[in-house]
Amino acid sequence: MPLHTVAPQRLYRQIAEQLRQLMVTGEFALGSRLPAERDLAVQLGVSRPSVREALIALEVEGMIEVRTGSGIYVQRLEARSTPPVTPAPDADTPADWGPLEVMSARLLVEAEVAALAATHAQKSDLKAIKTGLQQMKLEAARDQVPREGDEAFHEAIAQACGNSVLLDTVQRYWQARNGPLFERLGDYFEHPASWQAAIAEHQHVLLAIEAHDASAARKAMHKHLKQAHKRYSASWRRAPAR
């Protein structure tokens, strides 16, 4: 028989598959509550962010339900046929990247992108960055998730850094940001207070780039993305938007 390429599977998919099998075999019965996120991380020997990504994937598939303030419950014993959240191992795309893993990568890369932008930004670049921030403010004022403005802001900074590979990298992060796992995670942890915090953080990044202060731009972007990661790692307190 012909051999097929063996591709490594993302960690959150491996965790999701283990939990899925435990549900199917009856270890976690229909309607039962799963162990807490922290306990699952200890039992599996993995990080809590990886467990959270796996739980979000299973929720998007319809297998579990997150009840804020109560716990995580088994809702189905088989995944919905559509939309697929865990495609074939060789079908890896940015939309399939783990959200919290993406946030960690962004923290490392985009802090340096901001520093480069502070060094190289031209007037046209500064205008584009300001426009992105203004769009965020307008979207938030309309009680909309300021996602388009957020993307425009970060992409304008990447454009200003003068490195096409870094620009492409940042654009791929945003392809991930528009994927189903990120969308669902945002339902829990994005809200008006978090939008205003992000807008204030973006303002500090803009001011540093305008001043052509690479060190300050690096620190401001690092702080923003670190805070964003914390927001997505918060406790399941707020009811999800539907």
Burial 82-119 (b: 16+ CB within 10 A, else e): eeebbeeeeeeebbbbbbbbbbebbbebbbbbbbbbbe
Q: What is the pTM of this model?
A: 0.82
Which tokens sit at 101?
Answer: 């893993």
71 forms bridges with which residues in the sheet? 67
Label residue 90 by pLDDT band (50, 70, 90). very low
Tens digit of each residue's pLDDT (9 = 90 or more) over 112-135: 999 999 999 999 999 999 999 999
Which tokens sit at 108?
Answer: 């490392």
Using CA atoms, how far residue 3 sits from 9, 88, 128, in Å, is: 18, 16, 50
**Between 71 and 164, the higher pLDDT residue:** 164
Does the pLDDT at position 242 exceed 90? no
Tens digit of each residue's pLDDT (9 = 90 or more) over 13-48: 999 999 999 998 889 999 999 999 999 999 999 999
